[in-house]
Structure 1
Amino acid sequence: MDLQGTKEARTQEEGEGPLEAYGAGGGRSKEYHKNEGRDSHNHDDRSSIHPLRRRQQPFAYPHGARQSAPPVPAAVSRLREPSPSPEAISIPQELGLGPRDQRLLRKARRSPPVTKKTLSELDLPCIMSNINLRMDANFDRDLHFKPDLDGEKGQRKRKEAADYWDSLAAEIAIYSYHAATTDATTEEVESSDGTRRTFDPRLPALFETLQDVIKTLVPERDHPTIMQNLEVPLLMQQIRKGVLDMLTLAKWLAKLLKTHCAPMRDEWADSMVEQIEKGSQSQDPREIVNGLRTLFSILEAMKLDVANHQIRAFRVLLIEDTVPFLQEYFQGKMNRGSFQVEPARHWYLSVREQARRDDANAEARKTTPTAETEDTLKPLEALFRGISAQLLQFSPPTDFPETFLFDSERLWQLRSTVQNLINLDIAWYIFESYVNKHKRYLSTPEETYSTFRSRLWSLMEDGMDLENRIAGNPDNNDDDPDHRGGKRWTQNMRCIALEIARFACAALQLDPVVADEVIVPIEEALEWHLSNESDLFVFFQNSMRGKILATTLTAARRYLPLSPLAICESQRAPMSAALGPAAPQTGTAGASGSVSTSSLALTPQQSDIERIGMRLAHIGVLHWRVWAPLLYLRDEIAMVELEQPALA
């Protein structure tokens, strides 16, 4: 189970195993992960939500099913066919079960898809020790768990669950048959193709699991009643005799669950009873299984409700404790040698040295005064320069430094956003160049750019705006391998070129039907500049570098004296509004540009860059508080500590 986004929320234990970030995948994600509304649990298989009913179902084990089956001759034993247990029961040929049902009876999973173990990640101790969750809590106010049924892993889980419930339906049909006959046998019988015709039952494990999970969801005072009504040996004895009253059991379960779950789950519980009743009346095993499936979906939803309530209740503690928790965790890993951080230290020292050289060169070339970074901020500025360089470079980095393990997904999202903005600048430049080449100029460039940007962005993001991407909700279906957006732009090249050509024809007052002589040169220029690290890309890359660094450092200055919670809360308000109309322009030594945060009426690009800078500053300041004393400034701090006695 995991936490979104997205992103996998795997609990990081104190063992010696390798560290993993759930986002490299949350993740976001789940098993359990963040996204959408608080109460949206996204049960993709709606059959587990909609009503199906049942009542008394006479299903029983065959007589003598508890006897041990005779040994299987060595000549007919087969690989992957586990030996039958003493509980094994036979598959009656008279039922006419198909090969798939027989295979599922023998090989499908033995326990329900929802168990106490699978839900254990939602327990409070696991929530409090989940590093991914602690980190995500700093960046997502609406962080919560939900089932993750997307992607390859989710599809595999859905198939395993479907196979389990199908096998249970066949098992119930066999119980009914054996309860109605007197010639049941547990002898090891083979079908015509030589496969074994016995299987180990699943209902005992289902009732045990049901008992265990419900006990985790209700107060201890109700446990005796649960033990009494879900006494597994008694239930199995009733099943073998064909006298189990499933409808009465379902009604009791619904009443119990409605007493302790949120009112929004009451209708779901009533649907479960209706399903059990319908199946009992019609003697349809699949309807009974639908009711049981709904029952376990309710239990999972209740556990999610509890976990999400705990996340909201402990959110402040999780955020404020982020830095000391991570420092203690990583220090322990480093002491045991299970987390190698020296490459990250060498990376930081190299970018810090490069920053010194860039500053020296800029000082030598400087002809006009430039705002300089305070000495106390220079070590942190070097960190921002190193990370922003990886966000801006044309080719994707192999990976971000290991110390950014739990921020890597956020950084990949920022990189994709930055690269899309550069591509957007290139497309706008191609449009302006074509118009200017024909001796025409835009009468309202700001309005035209805003419309141009909106149209191209909608083509690229299927309606998802840039703000949502920066907020940590990337398109999970994006299979661009370099996280640059290049593949999406390439796949939509013709549409983008056509859109640019339409804008050009409108600006030049040409026929609105775009001719090939207009679209062909635009498409060729677009394809070349998006596929190569051209001079045009380098120009916009450097321009973006200066703007992002300036905005990031402005935000970092504001965040440094704040607590983690205050930084988190500050993300809700635009930085320009927080600084006020009198805020001065901000520059950075060595940057090729500066951005003003003084205007409350920001252009679309300024607004984008401001949000990027705020997010990058948030990541960087928290990261610096954890790793500066542990790694980046370790030698300087040790030197100061050695000198202090001498000074005294």
Structure 2
Amino acid sequence: MEGNGGRSGRRNDSISSVMSLGTDNNNNNNNTSPSWSAAPADQRSSRAEQVLDHEASVHMLSSHYAPEDHSYMEGSNSDTDQSDMMSPLEIRHAIFEMLDELPQCASTDLVTPYQKAATLPPVTQDSLCELDVGRIINNPKLRHDVNFDRELHFRPNLDGPRGKTKLKSADEYWKAVLAELEVYRAVGFRLMTSRSDEELEYWTCMIKANQIRLPGIFTTIYEILKTLVPERDQAIVAERLDVEMIMQQICKGVFNLLDLAQWLATILKAHCAPMRDDWIDQMLEGTTQGVEEGNQKAVVVGLRQTLAILEAMKLDVANHQIRHLRSLLIDDTVNFQQKYHAHKIAAGRFKVKGARDWFKAEEALLSGCNLAPTPLETFSSAVLRSLLSQSPIPHFPDTFHLDYERLRQLRSDIHNMIQLDMCNKAFDVLIKDKVSEQTRAAGKKTLQFRITGIIGDSGLYLENLENLSAEIVRLVLELEGSDRTFDSDMNSIVEHYLRTELPLASSAFGIQLQSILDTELPRLCNAVKSSARLPLLALHDVMLPPIQPAGKGAAAKPIAEPLLDEILKRVTHLAVIHWHVWSPIIYNLQVAVGSTDLGSPDNNTDTAHVNTNTASPSSVASTPDMQSQTGGFTQLNPSITNSHSQE
């Protein structure tokens, strides 16, 4: 396969209007080309003038915009120092003015993205580095989370305000790339029609100064692709993606983008999952259309899709590694975390006093009630008491730092359960004995469904109090057979009741939390005690049973557990893993200091103690198929997204 360096200096008409220095294939007359010549500096468009004046006033010109700072700018035929002809600021202004005069800027501002957008693509090898297998097996958050999610995998983290900001920045970047391509085309035409050495040098200086983002795109494609192909393909990848050669060919108008896209499509299909083939075909089809029709936007879309495909391939590899390593990572949880935390404690970067005080406070509280719990029972009680705290911010020690999101979600689920129960009680107050028990029970199911529709995933009951009250009244009237859908007196009763009961700080809420603690603590202690005897891999299978595939012969779908039982199950899982990791370090202080037994689910954790002089965290031994690449991102839970890189 011919490399980029082997092409002749002959102009390639198939891409002359896209990323080369020629005229537009579809518009070859001079009237449609940008009207641009070496105009005096005082002839400025208003937008370009504002940009220049702003940059000059605050001295924001970066040195990387100067032509001599780019490695791709070597090999100029001019003997004249470019800086003697034009300053970097003048070069920048000339490019801004040219962009402002392009027909494309009539509907889209290309100057601002060109000036302000990032110089590197949104996806780079550095941004994907956490998908690397070495980072995966040494990522404490991921190694902890894998215990709680059978379907844990990476995906780009584009959720929330930060995700919106990233998407907006990416859009601005690709607009800037479009602007850069338009400059290549406009300056390229002038460069090829120059009639004097000064003109040639002027436009050469301009086109080299325009090499801001395009080199970074090809460099990123090369860096990511070389981590995805085997050793035998490394040489051809390096040859075809020689970035300096590509930029020289672009400047001379002989770069064959279509040929490169076809080669990329072939090599990507050879090393990606079959499900990515259609995406690769779309990339190639769009790039081909852009080259043949001189459509710069289509070319930008093709480049953007190429990076997205490479990112997806890296994610596929990382998720394959997680599936492959899952059992090893779970089985090694206690050993890894104890060494990891012992190393931080020994270095003075992790304090355990707060956790010891938290445990001793619970121990003192239970002793004051004439109870003699075991350390494990004391710990279980402390976990549930903190979880059911009426304080807006629960008091969990720093040892739970890897579980904060899980604990937050557990508290939210408990609060939602209590607030839903309060809505049911308001319904009971209104309905009284006006309907049968069967109708009342069916009404509560209907009410739960409607409340879920009002609240959604937000859990904001107080913020939706008026809507909740109106819905409860409407349902009561409906069950009573009334033609009305609203009753102001009934609505006032319900609103007053909910406004008094629903707040977390209300006495009614506190009574509900205390009731759960009193009734469920014995169950939790028994569950933790029995579950602590299991190896972590067996515990994982018990707490997260495999989902049976649908189809003939598949087991019937189990009936969903009651919400409180499901919550206690999650608390048990979390508490058992925490106990195995931290009991030798914090909670069993009566054990002799200096024991090197780090404890495990198969050992007696009541007699283990960690040696804080343990070496730094160990890594799971790499197997041959783990020596490939990856880089991490955002760990995805079917219900909760946890970020491991992120960003």
On whether the aligned pair clears a TM of 0.5, the verdict is: yes
How far 1:424 sits from its partner (Å)?
A: 1.8
Residue 437 of structure 2 aligns to a residue whose secondary structure is coil
Equivalent in 170, 182, 196 of residue 173 of structure 1: 182
Distance 1:291 1:58, change over 3 A: closer
Amino acid at match of 1:402: D
1:620 aligns with 2:575: yes
Report the Cα distance in structure 2 between the residues aligned to 1:536 and 1:224, rounded to whole angstroms. Answer: 71
Residue 229 (1) aligns with residue 279 (2) = no
Report the 3-state secondary structure (helix = DSSP H, G, I; strand = E; otherwise coil) of the residue aligned with 2:390.
coil
Alignment check: 8 A CA contact 2:283 2:302 kept: yes
Which runs of structure 1 show a deviation greater than 6 angstroms over 4 or more consecutive aligned residues? 187-190, 438-441
How many residues are aligned here? Answer: 507
Other-structure match for 1:582: none
> What is the match of residue 584 of structure 2?
629
Give the corresponding residue for 1:38.
Answer: none
Equivalence for 1:371: none
The one-letter code sitting in structure 2 at the alignment partner of 1:125 is: G
Larger mean CA deviation between 540-549 and 232-241 belongs to 540-549
**How does the TM-score come out when normalised to structure 1?**
0.72
Percent identity of paired positions between Structure 1 and Structure 2 = 35
In 2: Cα distance, 1:224 partner to 1:331 partner: 45
- Check conservation: 2:418, 2:509, Cα contact below 8 A: yes
Q: Residue 387 of structure 2 contacts residue 407 of structure 2 at CA under 8 Å; is this kept in 1? A: yes
Work out whether 1:408 is the aligned partner of 2:408. no
User: Counterpart of 1:492?
Assistant: 464
Q: Is the 8 A contact 2:362 2:382 kept in 1?
A: yes
Q: How does 1:325-344 map to 2 (within 5 A)?
A: 325-344=336-355
1:348 to partner: Cα distance: 1.2
Instruction: Compare 417-426 and 328-337 and name the one that shifted more.
Output: 417-426
Cα pair 1:178 1:184 within 8 Å, conserved: no
**Which AA in structure 2 matches 1:379?**
P
Aligned to 1:460: 455
Match of 2:318 in 1: 307
Alpha carbons 1:60, 1:241 under 8 Å: kept? yes
- Looking at structure 2, the residues matched to 459 and 359 of structure 1 have their Cα atoms a distance apart, in angstroms, of 46
The SS at the match of 2:227 is helix
Give the aligned residue type for 1:157.
K
State the match for 1:527 in structure 2. Answer: 499
Residues 426 and 536 of structure 1 are in contact (CA less than 8 Å); yes or no, is this contact kept in structure 2?
no
Q: For residues 427 and 558 of structure 1, do their structure 2 counterparts lie closer, same or farther at Cα, with a shift above 3 Å needed? A: same
CA distance in 2, matches of 1:76, 1:408: 48
**Alignment partner for residue 288 of structure 2, among 277, 291, 300?**
277
TM-score by length of 2: 0.72
Q: Deviations over 1:438-467 (max 9, x none)?
A: 787735654444443333233322xxxxxx
CA contact (8 A) 2:18 2:299 kept: no
Deviation, structure 1 residue 389: 2.2
1:514 Cα deviation after fit: 3.1
1:139 is paired with a residue whose SS is coil
The match for 2:164 is: 155
Corresponding residue for 2:261? 250
Which residue number in structure 1 is paired with residue 376 of structure 2?
Answer: 380
* Secondary structure of 1:148 counterpart: coil
The equivalent residue for 1:542 is 514
2:270 maps to 1:262 = no
Over 3 Å counting, the alpha-carbon distance change for 1:317 and 1:508 in structure 2 is: same
2:477 corresponds to? 505
Any conservation in 1 of the 2:183–2:210 contact (CA below 8 Å)?
Answer: no
The CA deviation string for residues 12-56 of structure 1, in whole angstroms up to 9 with x for no partner, is xxxxxxxxxxxxxxxxxxxxxxxxxxxxxxxxxxxxxxxxxx956
1:127-161 alpha-carbon deviations (Å, 9 max, x no partner): 11111111111111110111111222212211222
> d(CA) in 1 for partners of 2:595 and 2:440?
56
2:455 maps to amino acid: M
Amino acid at match of 2:179: A
Equivalent position amino acid for 1:529 in 2:
E
- Change in Cα spacing, 1:442 to 1:170, as seen in structure 2 (3 Å) is same
| Aligned mates of 1:456, 1:536 — CA distance in 2 | 20
- After superposition, the CA RMSD in angstroms is 3.3
More relative contact order, 1 or 2 (CA 8 Å, 6+ apart): 2
Q: The residue matched to 2:255 in structure 1 has which SS?
A: coil
Mark the CA change 1:189 to 1:553 in structure 2 (over 3 Å): closer, same or farther: same
Q: Distance in 2 between matches of 1:155 and 1:260?
A: 31
> How far apart are 1:383 and its partner, in Å?
2.1
Query: Which residue pairs with 2:562 in the alignment?
Result: 607
State the partner residue of 1:517.
Answer: 489
Query: Quick check: 1:209 aligned with 2:204?
Result: no
Q: Is the Cα contact below 8 Å between 2:18 and 2:295 reproduced in 1? A: no
1:445/1:357 Cα in 2 relative to 1: closer, same or farther (>3 Å)?
farther
What residue ranges of structure 1 are gaps of 5+ in the alignment?
1-53, 63-71, 191-196, 361-374, 462-474, 479-484, 575-600
**1:45 aligns to what?**
none
Q: Distance in 1 between matches of 2:175 and 2:414?
A: 48
Q: Is structure 2 residue 229 aligned with structure 1 residue 218?
A: yes
AA matched with 2:538: A
